[in-house]
Amino acid sequence: MAENILELRNITKTFGDFVAVDSVDFELQAGEIHAILGENGAGKSTLMNLIYGLYQPSGGRIYVTDRENWQHRLRAKSPRDAIANGIGMVHQHFMLIENLTVAENIALALGQLRSGPRGSASSNERFGLIVDPTALVRSLSVGLKQRVEILKALAVDARILILDEPTAVLSPLEVEGFFTILRKLQADGRAIIFISHKMKEVLSISDRITVLRRGKKVYLGPTGELTAGALAREMIGEEINEVERSASPHLENDPPDNVLQLSNLTVLGSRNEVAVSDVSMETCRGEIVGIAGVDGNGQRELAEAIMGLRHRASGTIGILGANPQGIKAVRQRGVGYIPEDRQTTGVIAGFSVTENLLLNVTHLENIAQWNILNQKRKRETAENLITDYDIRPPNPDIPVSSLSGGNQQKIVLAREISLQPDLLIAVNPTRGLDVNAAHYVHENLLAQRDHKKSVLLISTELDEVLLLSDRLYVMSRGKLIEATAQRNDVEALGLLMTGETHTEE
């Protein structure tokens, strides 16, 4: 029988009265890929932070087995202690210094290690982790940056790798390459904890699955015989049906009524590079227009330019027949916005759940009376949104910073979608959401469309854009390529996303 490289016994973590992780046992074997699944707020990140020394357990013990096969108790006071015990973590938001080279970033990681063994740089090629060590990190694609993060962990000889939603930023082709790397690391005897909301990926890559629900471990088993439906049942206690998608109403009824009109739009990025290049497109009432693409290909700049948050270098942006300048004017035209980065633009972490839910002029107008906020209406509105979007814990007064990532995202969605804006710009709306919450958002976006509203859905999730879009584009290196004709050919779309194939433009 394979040996345990990591053991958690009866681990509990409380925040005040709240039990985020409740008496959890968990075992990780050398050479296995162990997936952790659970709905938003189930306790996955908290559990990982306990292993990585970012939190200390309120109860229970953690044991690691060292290179000499001795098991000892881990009392990690910080990530430095975890790293010294062979534990590495790749966060969703990379911890790289953009203006340094790959080699310099790895050297900095080595500097964190007080003593102990170091991985051999030359051995990394056998895992397929090929990156130019002299390249500046900021010049690398997201997929390559992720490789650098893994290289950093291997440089300090991590035998346990914690990967927090690692595929969220990758194109379908990159995911394949990434899985090959994981299998090589596994064959080398390293153990991988893989956190993901994507059932298909979990089923294809993991050996075993642990499911958490409301802080408790509710399931542990081999991946082999499980189906996505059975997993969803373990996670939330019920089946989830795929969203039913009917044809777009505008196709059947009136002639299209233009909502967003972009003509020859060029937008510069933060380093003055051309981020959006000569883009022309439109969205109409009663349709969802999808833009698929890998992160960092101009999607953020495109959304920010439409919202009036970024200047355009040339071209025009028409919204509902007008040409609003600046975010306030755009908002006043009735445009909803789900930004790419919830932490910097979506929520204000120190503000309460209620304040964040109502941070929108229209909401504020609805709950004001003679320019004074009606406290009763304010509370009712917040409580209704918390119920509708299943925001947990359902407490309107706590700061948003104490909510899990997925629940923070639900706040942005509740605020922006519930007002049923004429135009909704949604960038990766379901990133970090569990299957149930993602399903709810999909239904809401389709309802928007059915109410003759217009949605521009910009997403790195190909499955999502394919499911929801009436018309489809791919964005690659700042260019927009119409891809409706390719929608049944996922491989062709994947190639367009990585810019490897060119169609007539």
Ligand X SMILES: Nc1ncnc2c1ncn2[C@@H]1O[C@H](COP(=O)(O)OP(=O)(O)OP(=O)(O)O)[C@@H](O)[C@H]1O
Looking up tokens 């996670």 gives: 235
Whole-number minimum distance, CB 14 to ligand X, in Å? Answer: 9
- 40 touches ligand X by CB under 6 A: yes
What angle, 0 to 180 degrees and rounded to 10, lies between the N-to-C axes of helices 405-417 and 435-450? 10
- 393 touches ligand X by CB under 6 A: yes
Rule CB under 6 A: choose which of 196, 404, 448, 460 binds ligand X: 404
Whole-number minimum distance, CB 463 to ligand X, in Å? Answer: 18
- 167 touches ligand X by CB under 6 A: no
Q: Which amino acid is at 484?
A: T
What are the helix (H) ranges across 420-470?
A: 435-450, 462-468
CA quadruple 495, 497, 501, 503: dihedral, nearest 10? 130
- Give the DSSP H/E element, type plus range, for residue 332: helix 326-332
Q: How many CB atoms lie within 10 A of CB 244?
A: 7
Distance from CA of residue 116 to its chain's centroid?
Answer: 34
Whole-number minimum distance, CB 338 to ligand X, in Å? Answer: 16
CA quadruple 117, 118, 120, 124: dihedral, nearest 10? 120
What are the helix (H) ranges across 24-162?
A: 44-51, 79-84, 102-111, 142-155
Range in contact with ligand X (rule: CB under 6 A) among 33-41, 273-281, 335-343, 497-505: 33-41
- 231 touches ligand X by CB under 6 A: no
Whole-number minimum distance, CB 165 to ligand X, in Å? Answer: 8
DSSP state of 95: -
Cβ-in-10-Å burial (0-12, 13-18, 19+) of 287 comes to buried
Range in contact with ligand X (rule: CB under 6 A) among 125-133, 296-304, 315-323, 398-406: 398-406
Rule CB under 6 A: choose which of 2, 3, 10, 18 binds ligand X: 18
Q: What residues from 423 to 462 belong to the interface with ligand X (CB under 6 A)?
A: 432
Rule CB under 6 A: choose which of 7, 38, 284, 287 binds ligand X: 38
Render the burial of 31-69: b for 16+ CB within 10 Å, e for the rest: bbbbbbbbbbbbbbbbbbbbbbbebebeebebebbeeee
Whole-number minimum distance, CB 20 to ligand X, in Å? Answer: 3
Range in contact with ligand X (rule: CB under 6 A) among 146-154, 183-191, 235-243, 396-404: 396-404
Handedness of CA 440, 446, 450, 453 (dihedral sign): positive
Range in contact with ligand X (rule: CB under 6 A) among 39-47, 155-163, 219-227, 482-490: 39-47
Please give the Cα distance from 62 to 425 (Å, whole number). Answer: 45
What are the helix (H) ranges across 188-312?
A: 199-205, 228-236, 249-252, 299-306
Output the residue with the shortest Cβ distance to ligand X.
406
Range in contact with ligand X (rule: CB under 6 A) among 62-70, 400-408, 456-464, 485-493: 400-408
Looking up tokens 């399903």 gives: 439
- 296 touches ligand X by CB under 6 A: no
Tokens of 181: 């790397």
- 406 touches ligand X by CB under 6 A: yes
Rule CB under 6 A: choose which of 15, 25, 227, 325 binds ligand X: 15
**Toward ligand X, which CB reaches closer, 109 or 232?**
232
Pattern of binders to ligand X over 339-378, x per CB under 6 A? Answer: ----------------------------------------
- 196 touches ligand X by CB under 6 A: no
Binding site for ligand X (CB under 6 A): 15, 18, 20, 38, 40-46, 392-393, 402-407, 432
